[in-house]
Amino acid sequence: AFCKKMHSCKFHLIFSQGYSYGEADTPQMCFNPAKSWSLGWYPEQQESLVVTGPREFTMVGVVDYDKSETDKRVVVRIENSEGQDFFIGYNRKKGFNSGTKEAENMVTVVTSNSGYSSSTLVAKLDKGDEYQLTSNYENTGKALIVRFSDYSSPLSIDEAIVNVFFADCDPNDGCGDQPSESPVSGPAPDECKSNEGRFTLELMPDNFPGETSYELIENSIGTKMMASQGSLKAGTIK
């Protein structure tokens, strides 16, 4: 079922599970994580990733979607080249999702192919529960686990703390943590940060290399990242 106030929207989704109801205006409930991803309604609070190490997410229900809180997630998509992707959400029962009939206030895991396709609910997690997504994620030979670890506050159940990790690196055992006394080092000179990509600049001057120069500027902050040094020589590539 979908959020009832969206009467004017046109949906192109394939429904694979759920209940059938005779009431015209009830129950009030929303799409599962895979359908929410396909609809693209929560762009500031959704994330797609290939897991390479332990990750922790603060997840909120669709009712608490707030585009200004970009550190929180309504939907997390775990990409899986060996099969269907995994979609994780927190089915918070309140507001316009107060009529949900399954997995109330639980973290849910749904599998689905890319695009508009059917989806399957594979896990419903209470606080402390975990679920093995796959025994051999991306041919690493490692099992990938999702865990509903806790709530972000002892005074509210509006935010769920969800951990995704490999079975041989459990955050509960301190795996992935940085020792507090050790400085946090940056990437090695030949490595890129997780939000960066590598590129190569090739420049072949014309017959007047002394008139050629270049600068590389980071637009978001206006910082000069690199520039030509001295006069270029004919036939060289920088």
Residue 77 confidence class, pLDDT cut points 50, 70, 90: very high
Contact of 14 with 110, CB cutoff 8 Å:
no
Predicted pLDDT of residue 82: 85
Q: Is 21 a residue whose pLDDT tops 50?
A: no
Q: Is 183 a residue whose pLDDT tops 60?
A: no
Other CB atoms within a 10 A radius of the CB of residue 64 amount to 18
Give the residue from 23, 79, 74 showing the smallest Cα distance to 45. 74
pLDDT digits (tens, 9 = 90+) for 60-69: 999 999 999 9
Q: Which residues of 146-180 are buried (b: 16+ CB within 10 A; e: fewer)?
A: bbbbebeeeeebbbbbbbbbbeeebbeeeeeeeee
Contact of 95 with 86, CB cutoff 8 Å:
no
- Write out the two tokens for 186: 């940056």
Lowest mean pLDDT among 10-24, 143-157, 166-180, 214-228: 10-24
Whole-angstrom Cα distance, residue 60 to residue 107? 10
Count of residues in the chain: 238
Residue 227 confidence class, pLDDT cut points 50, 70, 90: low
pLDDT digits (tens, 9 = 90+) for 32-75: 888 888 888 899 999 999 999 999 999 999 999 999 999 999 99
Lowest mean pLDDT among 69-73, 184-188, 200-204, 214-218: 184-188
Contact of 26 with 98, CB cutoff 8 Å:
no
Judging by beta carbons within 10 Å of its beta carbon (0-12, 13-18, 19+), is residue 133 exposed, middle or buried? buried
Residue 91, C-beta contacts closer than 8 angstroms, at least 6 positions apart: 61, 97, 100, 102, 103, 104, 105, 106, 107, 108
Q: Beta strand pairing status for 55-60 and 72-73?
A: parallel
